[in-house]
Amino acid sequence: MDTEKLRTAIYIYGRAFVARSIPFAKAGLVVVAGTLSVAYFFRYQIENQFTLLLSDRYDGVIEISILEHWYNVLRGKSLWSQTNYFFPVHDTLAYNDGYLIYGLIYSIFRSLRIDPFLSGEAVSVVVRAVGFPAFYFACLRILKLNWKWALLGATLFTVSNNSLIRANHQQLLSVSFVPLLGLLLYNSITALAENRSTRFLAWGSAFVCLHAAWLMTSYYMAWYFVFYGSVTLVILVVISPRSTMRNFGAVCAKQKWVGAFLVALTVLINVPFLLLYLPKAIETGMHPYREVLSFSPALVDVVHLNMLFGNLEDVLYRYLRPGDPVYSELSTGLSPGLLFVFVCAIIFLFRKDISDGTNQKVLVRALAFAAIGTWATILHVKSFSAWYFIYYLVPGAKAARVLARYQIFLTAPVVGVAMFYLAKQAKMIGVPILMAICFFLIAEEINGPGLALDRLHELARLERVPLQPPECSVFFVSAARPEKYMNRNIDGIYSHNVDAMLIAEMRNLPTINGFATFVPPGWDLVDPVSSSYLEKVQAYVSRYHVRNLCDLDLKTMVWKAK
């Protein structure tokens, strides 16, 4: 073979090798970026070797108690709807989020003999890890972005500042399911539009089943998905060309039997959720509007500044809202750079005709305008909020107490729309400025979570609880642990009750104590140091005819038969 032929052969095979290697290189980069993003989110736990965990001794222990309940269910020790606290009230799981998906993941780790606190943290890692590839593929599939913008979007979504600082409520991390459910819904509607019955049935069934499980896991995010998705679909119908809607209507008529099946599946698969939660919603009346309004964000809460901006947020809060804490349930705003790009995208989408040969302009406009419109409903000006109408008119709205959490949900559409805008304007902006923008968008998400659950300390306390007397079939806590955690009022509500919940689930031993978003009628077992506490216990025991009761003193770690 002469030199020229050899060079040609090397060139051809070299190009083929590179062409084949590029997809693997992209996949490797996505995996690395996803791993680093999740590792960043949990970097403090990695540094402390998972000894100090997300959340705190109260909300965190309540969550672990519910997760341990599901572990008991899977082992055949408990009825799925009946926790071991608030005994003997029925269907007590409905007083809080159900944590179904979390509980299934948790049970895998527990079956490997990993302790409950580390298993609970592992659930958070898994859930957060789901969000990265889901958002990446949603950007590719739904927004039709190239892989680089999809990668940046997935990174921003995964390390988002508002999710990190509010991760003490770990059920809110189920925002990771937003892009996954969005992808399933998009594939379902696309299959319907293309008149593909099998695909429509498969994707639609997957969406319905996963959303039902999500509802039984974290009500906030699952309900917000329906709320936002419904508004998006209405906007799509309004702004889509009439010819497109006529064609879509004709296809829907052809697929009516598949559609009817999916509607029936939706009803059927949500029957357990409805049977569990509807009676409790009627019983408790859910959250009063005044309470909901107190958790409505003001305009200043739309933005949240991280450590990149120093103490600027403290200064702004002291000036704009003196006397209020800087960090609270209202601290769910988005980063200013991301918001700025999103506003630019809104202007761009409103004014610019995007000719890309697809319907992406219509879809992204709907996503963007739905975000703006629904965002406006949760804000308040003085004592007025448009949420008043949502609260009284939309089914399920009364169960959402902290409206500010909707801003965590909105991170997904806001990041997606922002990435769409940057991708469309990339050539006009220029590479140097574009790179600076991208680095700033990532840097402004840098922040730290609230870690206040001491795993080793809590494990040691659990191990110190002796075996209950054989005649004991139900227990209550007569004295809380001596440690002071917050103020006397909060400790008086939580300390003894959440300890009782975890002990009850770990021992599979019912307790009349407990605490949740809602509590049973007449339940008032708070403040065990008060003189009336034992009288309240006796009244509860008499009301529900509790037998074989014993008490556990968490100061002395001594059981006493009553």
Token pair, residue 376, equals: 């406006």
477 - beta bridge partners? Answer: 552
Smallest Cα–Cα separation from 329: which of 359, 376, 357, 292?
292
CB-based contacts of 85, cutoff 8 Å, min separation 6: 65, 92, 497, 500, 501, 504, 505, 510, 511, 513, 514
Give me the count of residues in the chain.
562
87 plus 193 within the same structural domain: no
| Pairing, β 451-454 against β 384-385 | unpaired
Q: 256-265 pLDDT, tens per residue?
A: 999 999 999 9
75 plus 153 within the same structural domain: no
156 plus 294 within the same structural domain: yes
- For residue 235, the enclosing domain spans 122-451
- For residue 548, being part of any structural domain is answered with yes
Per-residue pLDDT, 19 = 47
Smallest Cα–Cα separation from 166: which of 291, 306, 292, 48?
306
**Residue 205: how many CB atoms within 10 A of its CB?**
18
Pick from 420, 451, 482: which residue ends a domain? 451
Query: Span 462-471, mean pLDDT?
Result: 93
Whether residue 419 contacts residue 143, with contact meaning beta carbons closer than 8 Å, is answered with yes
Asked if pLDDT for residue 13 goes beyond 60, the answer is: no
Per-residue pLDDT, 305 = 84
- For residue 116, being part of any structural domain is answered with no
- Rounded Cα gap, residues 377 and 293, in angstroms: 11
Smallest Cα–Cα separation from 159: which of 453, 448, 450?
448
Per-residue pLDDT, 430 = 86
Q: If you compute the radius of gyration of the chain from its CA atoms, what whole number of angstroms results?
A: 26
Q: 154-194 pLDDT, tens per residue?
A: 999 999 999 998 888 899 999 999 999 999 999 999 999 99
487 plus 441 within the same structural domain: no
79 plus 169 within the same structural domain: no
Asked if pLDDT for residue 9 goes beyond 60, the answer is: no
Q: 201-223 pLDDT, tens per residue?
A: 999 999 999 999 999 999 999 99
Stretch (H or E) spanning 452: strand 451-454
Q: Answer yes or no: pTM beyond 0.85.
A: yes
Q: What is the DSSP letter of 90?
A: S
Q: Where are the alpha helices (DSSP H) in 285-401?
A: 289-294, 312-320, 336-351, 360-378, 387-393
Residue type, 387: W
Per-residue pLDDT, 558 = 95
36 plus 59 within the same structural domain: no
34 plus 63 within the same structural domain: no
CB-based contacts of 544, cutoff 8 Å, min separation 6: 88, 89, 512
Query: Which span out of 241-255, 359-373, 423-437, 499-513 was modeled with the highest average pLDDT?
Result: 499-513
- Rounded Cα gap, residues 82 and 368, in angstroms: 41
Q: 521-546 pLDDT, tens per residue?
A: 889 999 999 999 999 999 999 999 99
204 plus 254 within the same structural domain: yes
- Rounded Cα gap, residues 236 and 531, in angstroms: 61
DSSP string, 101-155: HHHHHHHHHHHTT--HHHHHHHHHHHHHHHHHHHHHHHHHHTS---HHHHHHHHH
- For residue 459, being part of any structural domain is answered with no
- For residue 525, being part of any structural domain is answered with yes
What backbone phi and psi angles, to 5 degrees, belong to 454?
-80, 100
Q: Please compute, for residue 357, the number of CA atoms within 13 A of its CA located in the half-sphere on the CB side.
A: 1
384 - beta bridge partners? Answer: 381
Q: 277-299 pLDDT, tens per residue?
A: 999 999 999 999 999 999 999 99
435 plus 469 within the same structural domain: no
- Rounded Cα gap, residues 548 and 219, in angstroms: 36
Residue type, 58: Y
267 plus 408 within the same structural domain: yes
**How far apart, in Å, are the Cα atoms of 560 and each of 460, 478, 500, 556?**
22, 10, 15, 11
- For residue 108, being part of any structural domain is answered with no
Confidence of residue 2 (pLDDT cuts 50, 70, 90): low
Query: Span 313-334, mean pLDDT?
Result: 77
Pick from 416, 451, 486: which residue ends a domain? 451
- For residue 102, being part of any structural domain is answered with no
SS3 97: coil
63 plus 204 within the same structural domain: no
Q: Backbone dihedral region of 415: left (phi > 0), alpha (psi from -120 to 50 degrees) or beta?
A: alpha
Per-residue pLDDT, 159 = 95
- For residue 134, being part of any structural domain is answered with yes
Q: 51-80 pLDDT, tens per residue?
A: 999 889 999 999 999 999 999 999 999 999
**Which of 11-15, 349-353, 359-363, 424-428 has the lowest average pLDDT?**
11-15
- Rounded Cα gap, residues 120 and 67, in angstroms: 8
531 plus 447 within the same structural domain: no
- For residue 482, being part of any structural domain is answered with yes
Q: 113-130 pLDDT, tens per residue?
A: 999 999 999 999 999 999
Q: Please, what is the Cα angle at 399 between 135 and 268, to 5 degrees? A: 70
Q: What is the tally of structural domains in the chain?
A: 3
Smallest Cα–Cα separation from 390: which of 404, 376, 369, 405?
376
- Cis before residue 88, ω within 30 degrees of 0? yes
- Rounded Cα gap, residues 519 and 545, in angstroms: 18
